[in-house]
Amino acid sequence: MDRATARPAAGGAGVALSFDRLIPDGQLRVTKEIIGRGANGIVYVGFLKQPSGEEEPVAVKTLAPGATDEEHGDFFKEFSIMWEASKACPGVAQVHGCSKRGNALCIVMRRYSHSLRDHLEVPLDAPRGTPR
Protein backbone atom coordinates (compact mmCIF):
# COMPACT_ATOMS: atom_id res chain seq x y z
CA MET A 1 0.00 0.00 0.00
CA ASP A 2 1.10 3.53 -0.70
CA ARG A 3 -0.90 5.20 1.99
CA ALA A 4 0.07 6.75 5.31
CA THR A 5 -2.59 6.99 8.00
CA ALA A 6 -2.70 7.90 11.65
CA ARG A 7 -5.45 8.19 14.19
CA PRO A 8 -5.84 9.24 17.80
CA ALA A 9 -5.28 6.35 20.18
CA ALA A 10 -8.30 4.89 21.94
CA GLY A 11 -9.37 6.94 24.93
CA GLY A 12 -7.44 10.01 23.73
CA ALA A 13 -4.13 8.68 25.12
CA GLY A 14 -1.73 9.91 22.46
CA VAL A 15 -1.68 8.77 18.85
CA ALA A 16 -1.65 5.28 17.36
CA LEU A 17 0.75 4.83 14.44
CA SER A 18 -0.54 3.01 11.42
CA PHE A 19 1.92 3.86 8.67
CA ASP A 20 2.37 1.70 5.64
CA ARG A 21 5.65 3.56 5.17
CA LEU A 22 7.00 3.12 8.69
CA ILE A 23 10.77 2.76 8.49
CA PRO A 24 11.90 -0.20 10.61
CA ASP A 25 14.44 0.16 13.41
CA GLY A 26 17.95 -0.39 12.16
CA GLN A 27 17.36 1.18 8.74
CA LEU A 28 17.67 4.77 9.95
CA ARG A 29 20.69 6.35 11.62
CA VAL A 30 20.21 9.88 12.95
CA THR A 31 23.17 12.10 13.78
CA LYS A 32 23.28 14.95 16.29
CA GLU A 33 23.87 17.49 13.49
CA ILE A 34 20.98 19.96 13.35
CA ILE A 35 20.11 21.37 9.93
CA GLY A 36 16.88 23.14 10.83
CA ARG A 37 14.38 24.05 13.51
CA GLY A 38 10.64 24.56 13.39
CA ALA A 39 7.81 25.39 15.72
CA ASN A 40 7.28 21.75 16.68
CA GLY A 41 10.69 20.15 16.41
CA ILE A 42 14.18 19.88 14.98
CA VAL A 43 15.53 18.60 11.66
CA TYR A 44 18.62 16.39 11.87
CA VAL A 45 21.02 14.84 9.36
CA GLY A 46 20.32 11.15 8.99
CA PHE A 47 21.22 8.16 6.87
CA LEU A 48 18.72 5.66 5.46
CA LYS A 49 20.04 2.16 4.78
CA GLN A 50 19.22 1.02 1.25
CA PRO A 51 18.67 -2.62 0.18
CA SER A 52 22.20 -2.53 -1.32
CA GLY A 53 23.58 -1.77 2.15
CA GLU A 54 24.61 1.76 1.20
CA GLU A 55 23.42 4.68 3.32
CA GLU A 56 21.54 7.53 1.66
CA PRO A 57 21.77 10.96 3.33
CA VAL A 58 18.34 12.12 4.51
CA ALA A 59 16.73 14.89 6.55
CA VAL A 60 14.92 13.68 9.67
CA LYS A 61 12.24 16.07 10.89
CA THR A 62 11.29 15.27 14.47
CA LEU A 63 8.21 16.08 16.49
CA ALA A 64 9.37 17.12 19.92
CA PRO A 65 8.66 14.72 22.80
CA GLY A 66 5.78 15.98 24.91
CA ALA A 67 3.98 17.41 21.91
CA THR A 68 0.28 18.03 22.37
CA ASP A 69 -2.43 15.99 20.63
CA GLU A 70 -2.98 18.99 18.35
CA GLU A 71 0.72 19.06 17.42
CA HIS A 72 0.59 15.31 16.72
CA GLY A 73 -2.41 15.92 14.46
CA ASP A 74 -0.58 18.72 12.65
CA PHE A 75 2.45 16.44 12.24
CA PHE A 76 0.34 13.70 10.65
CA LYS A 77 -1.36 16.21 8.34
CA GLU A 78 2.05 17.51 7.30
CA PHE A 79 3.30 13.96 6.69
CA SER A 80 0.21 13.11 4.62
CA ILE A 81 0.53 16.26 2.51
CA MET A 82 4.25 15.71 2.00
CA TRP A 83 3.65 12.04 1.13
CA GLU A 84 1.11 12.95 -1.55
CA ALA A 85 3.40 15.70 -2.90
CA SER A 86 6.27 13.21 -2.98
CA LYS A 87 4.24 10.85 -5.15
CA ALA A 88 2.94 13.62 -7.43
CA CYS A 89 6.16 15.67 -7.72
CA PRO A 90 9.19 13.50 -6.91
CA GLY A 91 11.57 16.21 -8.11
CA VAL A 92 10.14 18.70 -5.63
CA ALA A 93 9.57 16.57 -2.56
CA GLN A 94 10.70 13.08 -1.72
CA VAL A 95 9.46 11.49 1.49
CA HIS A 96 10.82 8.07 2.42
CA GLY A 97 8.50 7.44 5.33
CA CYS A 98 7.99 7.95 9.04
CA SER A 99 9.96 6.63 12.00
CA LYS A 100 10.48 7.06 15.73
CA ARG A 101 13.58 8.39 17.44
CA GLY A 102 13.21 7.53 21.09
CA ASN A 103 9.76 8.94 21.90
CA ALA A 104 9.85 11.47 19.07
CA LEU A 105 8.03 10.91 15.78
CA CYS A 106 10.02 11.63 12.62
CA ILE A 107 9.40 12.35 8.96
CA VAL A 108 12.28 11.00 6.86
CA MET A 109 12.80 12.84 3.60
CA ARG A 110 15.36 13.44 0.90
CA ARG A 111 18.14 15.75 2.00
CA TYR A 112 18.52 18.67 -0.35
CA SER A 113 21.66 20.79 -0.62
CA HIS A 114 19.63 23.98 0.00
CA SER A 115 16.33 24.78 1.62
CA LEU A 116 13.44 26.21 -0.38
CA ARG A 117 13.91 29.42 1.58
CA ASP A 118 17.59 29.60 0.50
CA HIS A 119 16.53 29.06 -3.11
CA LEU A 120 13.81 31.74 -3.00
CA GLU A 121 16.13 34.30 -1.38
CA VAL A 122 18.62 34.18 -4.26
CA PRO A 123 18.44 37.41 -6.29
CA LEU A 124 16.78 36.85 -9.68
CA ASP A 125 19.98 37.74 -11.57
CA ALA A 126 22.15 35.29 -9.55
CA PRO A 127 22.90 31.76 -10.80
CA ARG A 128 20.30 29.29 -9.45
CA GLY A 129 21.38 26.68 -6.93
CA THR A 130 23.54 29.15 -5.01
CA PRO A 131 22.20 30.60 -1.74
CA ARG A 132 23.06 34.23 -1.16
Confidence of residue 31 (pLDDT cuts 50, 70, 90): very high
In this predicted structure, the answer to whether residue 89 has a pLDDT above a threshold of 90 is: no
In this predicted structure, the answer to whether residue 28 has a pLDDT above a threshold of 90 is: yes
For the chain, what is the mean pLDDT?
77
Average of per-residue pLDDT across 82-96: 82
Report residue 110: phi and psi, to 5°.
-55, 140
Confidence of residue 1 (pLDDT cuts 50, 70, 90): very low
Q: What is the pLDDT of residue 91?
A: 74
In this predicted structure, the answer to whether residue 75 has a pLDDT above a threshold of 70 is: yes
pLDDT, one tens digit per residue, over 100-121 is 877 778 899 988 876 666 667 7
2: helix, strand or coil: coil
Residue 5: closest CA among 80, 99, 96: 80
Cross-strand partners of 122: none
In this predicted structure, the answer to whether residue 5 has a pLDDT above a threshold of 60 is: no
